[in-house]
């Protein structure tokens, strides 16, 4: 599907990461209006788990897989909480007049050691065929070796974009893109284009380790996999009005584009 766009909306955009289970309804409503204006671009939406998923997954160490019985409570609670967020996102889209259907990742994917091994894409195809947007999310999932783990929305975005031959992935984050930070002066410069060589020299620092699925470094590192497969990868700030709309439409907007 050559004009398909995969949009990953970060959990830091639609939830307040400092407040557990806090959905930013106003932000999602504004993004939904932007998405409505992108009609008729075929779109798959993936959202992060934000404060509906990370704290609980971290508490029970879900990403490490099954170690002891007590984790099962955390696993099912994570599934339930992410489902609630998915419901909020889909409800907001539908209220904006967009045909959208929620498909939490736990219902679409099975991983092996954290890597997607089985994907039930007929559900995604069936929705796309009707012009309905499938809305999946970073989630806790069943894993063939670990029994369960955490699957990031970023990995899902890359997997879907590659296997459905999407034209573009838009990562909507809470920053403008990837910055080159001068280690001496601390001065930051937004990189409009970023190739792998430059990426490997960058210092990403900061919040890595806070989240169970890692931060910008992993997004970019894995994003190059999609670039290699011929998919355009753009990182924009989803908190700034117009950036998601522009990026989905393929217009030049402030952000970082990964290049070969």
Q: Which residues are annotated as a binding site for ATP?
A: 8-12, 174, 215, 219
* CA angle (79 as vertex; 113, 127 as ends), nearest 5: 90
Residues in 181-210 that interact with ligand IPE by CB under 6 A: none
| DSSP code of residue 15 | B
Numbers of helices and strands, H then E, in the chain: 9, 14
Quick one: which of 211, 217, 214 has its CA closest to 235? Answer: 217
Number of shown-chain residues binding ligand IPE (CB under 6 A): 20
Cα 72 from Cα 67, distance rounded (Å): 10
Minimum CB–partner distance for residue 183 and ligand IPE (Å): 26
Minimum CB–partner distance for residue 191 and ligand IPE (Å): 21
Question: Which residue reads 């609630």 in tokens?
Answer: 84
The values of phi and psi at residue 182, to 5°, are: -70, 120
Q: Which stretch binds ligand IPE (CB under 6 A): 122-130, 147-155, 177-185, 189-197?
A: 147-155
- When asked if residue 176 is in the footprint of ligand IPE (CB under 6 A), the reply is no
- When asked if residue 55 is in the footprint of ligand IPE (CB under 6 A), the reply is no
- When asked if residue 146 is in the footprint of ligand IPE (CB under 6 A), the reply is no
Contact footprint for ligand IPE (CB under 6 A) = 10-11, 48-50, 53-54, 57, 78, 82, 138-140, 150, 152-154, 211-213
């Amino acid at each position: 599907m050559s004009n398909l766009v995969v949009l990953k909306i970060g959990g830091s955009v639609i939830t307040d990461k400092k407040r557990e289970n806090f959905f930013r309804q106003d932000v999602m409503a504004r993004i939904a209006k932007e998405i409505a204006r992108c009609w008729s671009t075929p779109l798959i939406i993936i959202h992060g788990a934000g404060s509906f998923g990370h704290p609980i997954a971290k508490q029970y160490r879900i990403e490490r897989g099954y170690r002891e019985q007590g984790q099962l409570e955390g696993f099912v609670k994570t599934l339930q909480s992410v489902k609630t967020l998915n419901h909020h996102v889909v409800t907001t889209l539908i209220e904006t007049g967009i045909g959208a259907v929620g498909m939490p990742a736990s219902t679409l994917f099975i991983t092996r050691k954290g890597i997607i091994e089985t994907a039930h894409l007929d559900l995604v195809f069936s929705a796309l065929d009707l012009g309905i947007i499938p809305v999946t999310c970073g989630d806790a999932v069943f894993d063939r070796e670990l029994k369960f783990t955490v699957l990031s929305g970023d990995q899902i975005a890359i997997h879907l974009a590659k296997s459905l031959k999407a034209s573009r992935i838009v990562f909507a984050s809470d920053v403008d893109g990837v910055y080159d930070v001068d280690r001496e002066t601390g001065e930051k410069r937004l990189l409009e284009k970023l190739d792998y060589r430059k990426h490997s020299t960058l210092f990403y620092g900061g919040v890595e380790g806070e989240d169970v699925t890692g931060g910008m470094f992993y997004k970019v590192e894995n994003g190059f996999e999609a670039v290699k497969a011929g998919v355009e990868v753009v990182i924009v700030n989803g908190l700034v009005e117009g950036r998601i709309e522009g990026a989905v439409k393929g217009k030049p907007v402030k952000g970082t584009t990964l290049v070969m």
